[in-house]
């Protein structure tokens, strides 16, 4: 019987791993240069880390991999990490809370049950979290960092969409919904139901006068937000602080020459967002997103500290990035064939060549010579080394490893 | 077809539908039923809870059971191949999240505001978990139960998810916190069978006879019930030893042993279903619960002592090796063997030949058992290769050979197994009733003394036997 791969999982082939590492490498390199430090959290967490209001939406909670482990007699469920941000917030509280500013990044897998099993249930994310900075500049830094990574990967035509959780919440509060209904509607919006706000509107016709323009908000400049602020100053003064924050961020983005689109109702993401929510699209496919989550750390037991972050979706980037165009020229490959008496010599020569920057492989019986730039035969008697250039089949003899190096670099 | 609560009305419905069934009645000893009206139909009687699982995995095309068990399955496995075909209109009932009025949290708001871990006891653990997640309870523990959830609040759980009418809740001394589900009998189908098999005649025979019954929804009046006794919670209860006694067939031998030890329990076994009998032991409260549920309850400190079977203790410890529950005393009652059983039609005389047999098959070995963790460990330890454990809720011998290949079951004499054409191929261990306790330190020395003295009294009674 054929052993099958677990439903909803994927293998990464050598070619795919090359792309994976390339993206991961570009992301790590950018983050390190911006002063972020890498962390790694466990794959298993307790379920209750994710259950309170303000963490994951019920739609996402219904899709986590939770179970009782060998220690589960108390009913304490564990979960395969369904999100990257919340564990990093927990790590910050756990071991780094004395630091007033923590700039952290991670590359991690998250697990979300996808019912059909046709899409992968284990997804990889490159995420960065900026804890301890509340100014609009911090949000803009994260947007710019995310865009730099994508630029490094030579992805063009990236679309940045902005929304604001504070604006959505103020709007919901104005609709005189019960707290449960507010949370539910907010969750619907975050779970991707773009109609959610419109549905509420229909049930409350007296608000129809002010809401339609807001629901259809699509703008391309901070001026657009300022117009809205003027429009709603009378009817919805509660919107002002959030709109001001939003305007500041938009103005900063303009100042650094970054294009964006404002789309309030598309605030898809996570319940923990409190401020700006940004999403990155390439050809209508979402490849990443993030936002401000000032309430999360106090909510899960930490001090009152502001934070924001983003994640790029590695699996989707892998379909878009062309590794060949980006990868450094590969090292020259040398196939080493040693006589049985010269095996020791063979290993030490291979070591020497690798130190010098070449890829040196032992002949194991199945390699094709055509896949190598060079072959090197090692013999116990003179000439000890026979080097053959596989491109033009020229043959060289050498007595020392130094001579080989000289021949290789001719 | 269901046993228990829905049997009488289901039987009447199928009689009206012209099925001509013989032997579908309470306490029947045979589970396989032929229909005079539909000679090509073969039916089997299961515990209601088994029916959605059996239909979903495709062992049966159609089934009848309460919608509570359907929703319990779908809450955890929404993509099950299960189709709700028709509400049959009888067996009306509801599932409620309930609390004791003495527990300090009997409304949704109070539950949400309550600090610490909220303990929810239920036979419906998946629905209980959905409830807790949807309510956004921050920290909660769901205790899955085999039964008697109504007796858990307030001391042993904060909330219980129970089925019943509001009148029944009052009778239990519980108040409804939230209604989770309206329940009635449903005709269900396996999705693949529904899509590919012609079952029209059978389905029509039922649906034609279903009366369009009015849904009687009882008003949710949350009047405060009259409570017979008082519960000691918190500080007042810290010295009290909480002792769990088994319901079911272990009651009589347990009662005899306790009597011999000089422990008198009033109204145990109870003819009226009293689960809180009183005792002459001072500083002790007694609660009567399912022996299956005891190890988990003792582990979590809801009870200090319990009388259960070693089989259920092992079942618990195999699932949770770090559990603090231990056997304190072998009571030497109710000796059974836990055995591995196959159909006599299967050419396997021992576990080795079963392993070989399974290695040659392309489909997984179906291992049915009430003891899912013992069964799982047995299959694992014996390298049975590709296997699946099918949980059952009683009368597991009926599963072989159609619905399972291997059964892990308890037996006293082996006669019931032999009558069902089954063969024992292995004995896993012997099980007797035992006293269990928690190895974690007890909170007060008064309680510690109380526990010690009960162990000693019972030890002396056992040694006299």
ipTM confidence = 0.77
Query: How distant is the Cα of B124 from the closest Cα of chain A, in angstroms?
Result: 14
Q: What does the pLDDT look like over A330-389, one tens digit per residue?
A: 788 999 999 999 999 999 999 999 999 999 999 998 888 888 999 999 998 888 999 999
pLDDT reported for residue A216: 63
Q: Which of A74, A184, A188 should we substitute to test contact with B (largest number of B Cβ atoms within 10 Å)? A: A74
Residues on chain B touching A296 (C-beta within 8 angstroms): none
pLDDT reported for residue B229: 47
Query: Domains in chain A, please, with CATH?
Result: 14-325 (3.30.930.10), 333-408 (3.40.50.800)
Asked if A1's CB is within 8 angstroms of B142's CB, the reply is: no
The H-or-E segment that residue B53 falls in is helix B50-56
Please tell me which of the candidates A51, A71, A75 has its beta carbon nearest to residue B322.
Answer: A71
Asked if B138's CB is within 8 angstroms of A71's CB, the reply is: no
Higher pLDDT, B397 or B409: B409
Give the pLDDT mean for B122-127. Answer: 96
pLDDT reported for residue A212: 52
Query: How distant is the Cα of A35 from the closest Cα of chain B, in angstroms?
Result: 35
Give the pLDDT mean for B248-273. Answer: 92
Chain A, nearest residue to B359 by Cα:
A1
Query: Which strand ranges, in their side-by-side order, compose the sheet holding B82-87?
Result: B62-66, B185-190, B82-87
Residues on chain A touching B323 (C-beta within 8 angstroms): 73
Asked if B322's CB is within 8 angstroms of A58's CB, the reply is: no
Please tell me which of the candidates A51, A74, A115 has its beta carbon nearest to residue B133.
Answer: A51
Q: Phi first, then psi: what are they for B386, rounded to 5°?
A: -80, 115
Give the pLDDT mean for B43-64. Answer: 93
Give the rounded percent of residues in chain A with a pLDDT score beyond 70: 90
Residues on chain B touching A53 (C-beta within 8 angstroms): 136
One-letter-per-residue 3-state SS of A160-219:
EEEEEHHHHHHHHHHCCCCHHHHHHHHHHHHCCCCCHHHHHHHHCHHHCCCHHHHHCCCE
Query: How distant is the Cα of A309 from the closest Cα of chain B, in angstroms?
Result: 24
DSSP classification of residue A330? P
Higher pLDDT, B430 or B282: B430
Please tell me which of the candidates B119, B134, B320 has its beta carbon nearest to residue A72.
Answer: B320
Asked if A70's CB is within 8 angstroms of B320's CB, the reply is: yes
Grouping H, G, I as helix, E, B as strand and the rest as coil, residue A35 is coil
Query: How distant is the Cα of B39 from the closest Cα of chain A, in angstroms?
Result: 37
CB A333 within 8 A of CB A388: no
Q: Which of B139, B159, B298, B359 should we substitute to test contact with A (largest number of A Cβ atoms within 10 Å)? A: B139
pTM summary value: 0.83
Residues on chain A touching B324 (C-beta within 8 angstroms): 73
Chain A, nearest residue to B127 by Cα:
A62
Query: How distant is the Cα of A242 from the closest Cα of chain B, in angstroms?
Result: 26
Grouping H, G, I as helix, E, B as strand and the rest as coil, residue B254 is helix
pLDDT reported for residue B217: 42
Please tell me which of the candidates B139, B299, B386 has its beta carbon nearest to residue A73.
Answer: B299
pLDDT band at B79 (very low <50, low <70, confident <90, very high): confident
Residues on chain B touching A179 (C-beta within 8 angstroms): none
CB A160 within 8 A of CB A262: no
pLDDT reported for residue A295: 92
Query: Domains in chain B, please, with CATH?
Result: 4-88+184-207 (3.40.190.10), 93-182 (3.40.190.10), 237-335+433-464 (3.40.190.10), 336-431 (3.40.190.10)
Residues on chain B touching A52 (C-beta within 8 angstroms): 136, 138
Question: Does residue B221 have a pLDDT over 50?
Answer: no
Asked if B362's CB is within 8 angstroms of A73's CB, the reply is: no
pLDDT reported for residue A312: 97
Give the rounded percent of residues in chain B with a pLDDT score beyond 90: 64
CB B55 within 8 A of CB B193: no
Question: Does residue A215 have a pLDDT over 60?
Answer: no
Asked if B136's CB is within 8 angstroms of A53's CB, the reply is: yes
Asked if B386's CB is within 8 angstroms of A1's CB, the reply is: yes
pLDDT band at A98 (very low <50, low <70, confident <90, very high): very high
Give the pLDDT mean for B183-201. Answer: 93
Question: Does residue B262 have a pLDDT over 80?
Answer: yes
Omega within 30 of 0 (cis) for the link into B154? yes
Q: What does the pLDDT look like over A114-158, one tens digit per residue?
A: 888 788 899 999 999 999 999 999 999 999 999 999 999 999 999
pLDDT reported for residue B225: 41
Please tell me which of the candidates B136, B325, B362 has its beta carbon nearest to residue A1.
Answer: B362
Residues on chain A touching B386 (C-beta within 8 angstroms): 1
Q: Which tokens belong to A223? A: 């001026």
pLDDT band at B138 (very low <50, low <70, confident <90, very high): confident
Provide the 10 A C-beta neighbour count for residue B416.
14
Provide the 10 A C-beta neighbour count for residue A116.
8
- Say what the alpha-carbon torsion angle A236, A242, A247, A252 is, to the nearest 10 degrees: 180
Asked if A58's CB is within 8 angstroms of B133's CB, the reply is: yes
Alpha-carbon distances of B416 from A101, B48, B379, B413, B436, rounded to whole Å: 71, 22, 23, 8, 29
Q: Which residues pair with A158 in a beta bridge?
A: A282
pLDDT reported for residue A80: 96
Give the pLDDT mean for A300-327. Answer: 91
Please tell me which of the candidates B79, B136, B299 has its beta carbon nearest to residue A51.
Answer: B136
pLDDT band at A210 (very low <50, low <70, confident <90, very high): low
Please tell me which of the candidates A53, A75, A183 has its beta carbon nearest to residue B141.
Answer: A75
Please tell me which of the candidates B79, B139, B325 has its beta carbon nearest to residue A48.
Answer: B139
Omega within 30 of 0 (cis) for the link into B269? yes
pLDDT reported for residue A270: 66
Query: How distant is the Cα of B227 from the closest Cα of chain A, in angstroms?
Result: 30
Residues on chain A touching B119 (C-beta within 8 angstroms): 75
d(CA B81, CA B57): 7
Place of tokens 């924001």: A308
Cα-Cα-Cα-Cα dihedral sign, residues A12, A16, A22, A23: negative
Q: Which of A178-182, B141-145, B294-298, B345-349 has the lowest mean pLDDT?
A: A178-182
What is the count of residue pairs from A and B with beta carbons less than 8 Å apart?
55
pLDDT band at B290 (very low <50, low <70, confident <90, very high): very high
β B365-369/B387-391 pair status: parallel
Asked if A1's CB is within 8 angstroms of B323's CB, the reply is: no
Query: How distant is the Cα of B21 from the closest Cα of chain A, in angstroms?
Result: 40
Grouping H, G, I as helix, E, B as strand and the rest as coil, residue B422 is strand
Contacts from B275-278 at CB under 8 Å and sequence distance 24+? B275/B148, B275/B150, B275/B151, B275/B247, B276/B151, B276/B229, B277/B245
Residues on chain A touching B130 (C-beta within 8 angstroms): 62
CB B160 within 8 A of CB B121: yes
Query: How distant is the Cα of A83 from the closest Cα of chain B, in angstroms?
Result: 17
Q: What does the pLDDT look like over A244-290, one tens digit per residue?
A: 999 999 999 999 999 999 887 766 656 788 999 999 999 989 999 99
Give the pLDDT mean for B340-365. Answer: 91
Q: Which of B108, B133, B318 should we substitute to test contact with A (largest number of A Cβ atoms within 10 Å)? A: B133
Give the rounded percent of residues in chain B with a pLDDT score beyond 70: 94
Which distant-in-sequence residues (6+ apart) come within 8 Å of A230 by Cβ? none
pLDDT reported for residue A153: 94
Provide the 10 A C-beta neighbour count for residue B334.
20
pLDDT reported for residue A122: 95
The H-or-E segment that residue B429 falls in is strand B422-431
Chain A, nearest residue to B108 by Cα:
A180
**Cβ-based interface (< 8 Å): residues of B facing A:** 78-79, 119, 130, 132-134, 136-143, 296, 299-300, 316, 319-325, 362, 386
Asked if B137's CB is within 8 angstroms of A51's CB, the reply is: yes
pLDDT reported for residue B219: 42
Residues on chain B touching A57 (C-beta within 8 angstroms): none
d(CA A345, CA A337): 11
CB B398 within 8 A of CB B315: no
d(CA B381, CA B127): 33
Question: Does residue A294 have a pLDDT over 90?
Answer: yes
Q: Which of A217-231, A332-346, B340-354 has the lowest mean pLDDT?
A: A217-231
pLDDT reported for residue B214: 39
**Cβ-based interface (< 8 Å): residues of A facing B:** 1, 48, 51-53, 58, 61-62, 68, 70-76, 115-116, 183
Average pLDDT value over all residues in chain B: 89
Query: How distant is the Cα of B84 from the closest Cα of chain A, in angstroms?
Result: 19
Q: Which tokens belong to A371? A: 């896949």
Alpha-carbon distances of B302 from A237, B141, B170, B369, rounded to whole Å: 53, 13, 23, 27
Question: Whole-angstrom distance between the N-terminal and C-terminal Cα of chain A?
Answer: 54
pLDDT reported for residue A76: 86
Nearest to B431 by CA among B415, B412, B416: B412
Asked if B300's CB is within 8 angstroms of A62's CB, the reply is: no
Nearest to A36 by CA among A148, A186, A201, A177: A148
Query: How distant is the Cα of A115 from the closest Cα of chain B, in angstroms?
Result: 7
Question: Does residue B292 have a pLDDT over 80?
Answer: yes
Q: Which tokens belong to A43? A: 């794959």
Higher pLDDT, A36 or A409: A36
């Amino acid at each position: 019987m054929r052993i099958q791969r677990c439903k909803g999982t994927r293998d990464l082939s050598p070619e795919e791993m090359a792309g994976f590492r390339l993206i991961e490498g570009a992301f790590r390199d950018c983050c390190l240069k911006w002063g972020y430090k890498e962390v790694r959290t466990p794959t298993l967490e307790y379920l209750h880390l994710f259950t309170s209001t303000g963490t994951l939406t019920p739609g996402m909670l219904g899709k986590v991999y939770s179970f009782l482990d060998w220690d589960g007699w108390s009913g304490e469920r564990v979960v395969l990490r369904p999100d990257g941000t919340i564990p990093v917030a927990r790590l910050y509280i756990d071991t780094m809370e004395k630091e007033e500013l923590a700039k952290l990044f991670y590359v991690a897998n998250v697990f979300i049950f996808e019912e059909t099993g046709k899409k992968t249930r284990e997804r990889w994310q490159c995420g960065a979290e900026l804890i301890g900075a509340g100014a609009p500049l911090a949000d803009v830094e994260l947007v710019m960092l995310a865009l730099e990574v994508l630029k490094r990967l030579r992805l063009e035509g990236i679309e940045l969409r902005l929304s604001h959780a504070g604006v959505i919440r103020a709007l919901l509060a104005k609709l005189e919904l019960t707290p449960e209904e507010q949370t539910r509607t907010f969750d619907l919006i975050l779970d991707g139901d773009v109609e959610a706000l419109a549905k509420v509107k229909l049930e409350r016709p007296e608000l129809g006068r002010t809401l339609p323009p807001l629901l259809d908000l699509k703008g391309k400049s901070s001026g657009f937000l300022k117009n809205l602020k003027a429009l709603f100053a009378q009817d919805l003064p509660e919107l002002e602080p959030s709109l001001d924050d939003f305007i500041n961020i938009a103005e900063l983005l303009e100042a650094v020459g970054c294009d964006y689109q404002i789309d309030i109702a598309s605030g898809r993401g996570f319940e923990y967002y409190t401020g700006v929510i940004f999403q990155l699209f390439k050809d209508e496919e979402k490849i990443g997103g993030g936002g401000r989550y000032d309430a999360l750390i106090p909510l899960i037991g930490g001090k009152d500290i502001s934070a924001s972050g983003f994640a790029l979706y590695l699996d989707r980037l892998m379909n878009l990035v062309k590794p060949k165009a980006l990868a450094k020229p590969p090292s020259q490959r040398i196939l080493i064939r040693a006589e049985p008496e010269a095996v020791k010599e063979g290993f030490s020569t291979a070591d020497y060549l690798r130190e010098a920057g070449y890829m040196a492989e032992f002949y194991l019986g199945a390699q094709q010579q055509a896949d190598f730039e060079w072959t090197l035969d090692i013999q116990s008697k003179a000439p000890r080394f026979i080097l053959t250039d596989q491109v033009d089949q020229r043959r060289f003899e050498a007595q020392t490893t130094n001579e080989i190096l000289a021949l290789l670099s001719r | 077809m269901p046993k228990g609560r829905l049997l009488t009305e289901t039987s009447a419905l199928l009689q009206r539908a012209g099925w001509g069934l013989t032997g579908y009645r309470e306490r029947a000893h045979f589970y396989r039923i032929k229909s005079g009206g539909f000679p090509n139909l073969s039916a089997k009687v299961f515990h209601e809870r088994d029916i959605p699982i059996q239909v979903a995995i495709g062992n049966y095309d159609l089934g009848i059971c309460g919608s509570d068990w359907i929703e319990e399955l779908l809450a955890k496995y929404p993509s099950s191949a299960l189709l709700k075909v028709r509400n049959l209109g009888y067996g009306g009932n509801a599932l409620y999240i309930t609390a004791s009025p003495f527990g300090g949290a009997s409304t949704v708001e109070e539950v949400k505001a309550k600090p610490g871990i909220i303990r929810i006891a239920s036979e419906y653990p998946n629905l209980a978990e959905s409830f807790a997640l949807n309510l956004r309870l921050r920290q909660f523990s769901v205790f899955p139960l085999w039964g008697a959830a109504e007796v858990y609040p307030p001391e042993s759980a904060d909330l219980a998810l129970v089925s019943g009418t509001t009148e029944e809740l009052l009778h239990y001394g519980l108040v409804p916190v939230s209604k989770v589900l309206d329940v009635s009998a449903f005709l269900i189908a396996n999705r693949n069978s529904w899509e590919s098999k012609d079952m029209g005649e059978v389905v029509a025979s039922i649906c034609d006879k279903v009366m369009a019954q009015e849904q009687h929804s009882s008003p949710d009046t949350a009047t405060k019930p009259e409570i017979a006794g008082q519960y000691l919670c918190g500080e007042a209860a810290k010295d009290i030893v909480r002792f769990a006694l088994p319901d079911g067939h272990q009651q009589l031998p347990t009662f005899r042993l306790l009597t011999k030890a000089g422990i008198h329990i009033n109204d145990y076994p109870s003819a009226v279903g009293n689960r809180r009998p009183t005792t002459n032991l001072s500083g002790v409260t007694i609660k009567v619960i399912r022996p299956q549920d005891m190890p988990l309850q003792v582990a979590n400190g809801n009870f200090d002592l319990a009388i259960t079977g070693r089989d259920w203790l092992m079942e618990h410890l195999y699932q949770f090796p770090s559990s603090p529950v231990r056997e304190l005393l072998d009571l030497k009652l109710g000796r059974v063997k836990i055995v591995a059983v196959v159909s006599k039609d299967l050419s396997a005389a021992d576990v080795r030949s079963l392993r070989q047999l399974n290695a040659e098959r392309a489909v997984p070995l179906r291992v049915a058992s009430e003891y899912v963790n013992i069964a799982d460990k047995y299959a694992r330890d014996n390298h049975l290769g590709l296997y699946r454990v099918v949980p059952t809720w009683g009368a597991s011998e009926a599963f072989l050979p159609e619905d399972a290949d291997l059964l892990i079951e308890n037996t006293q004499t082996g006669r019931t197994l032999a009558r069902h054409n089954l063969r024992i191929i292995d004995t896993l261990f012997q099980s007797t009733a035992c006293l269990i306790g928690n190895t974690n330190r007890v909170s007060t020395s008064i309680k510690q003394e109380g526990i010690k003295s009960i162990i000693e009294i019972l030890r002396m009674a056992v040694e006299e036997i």
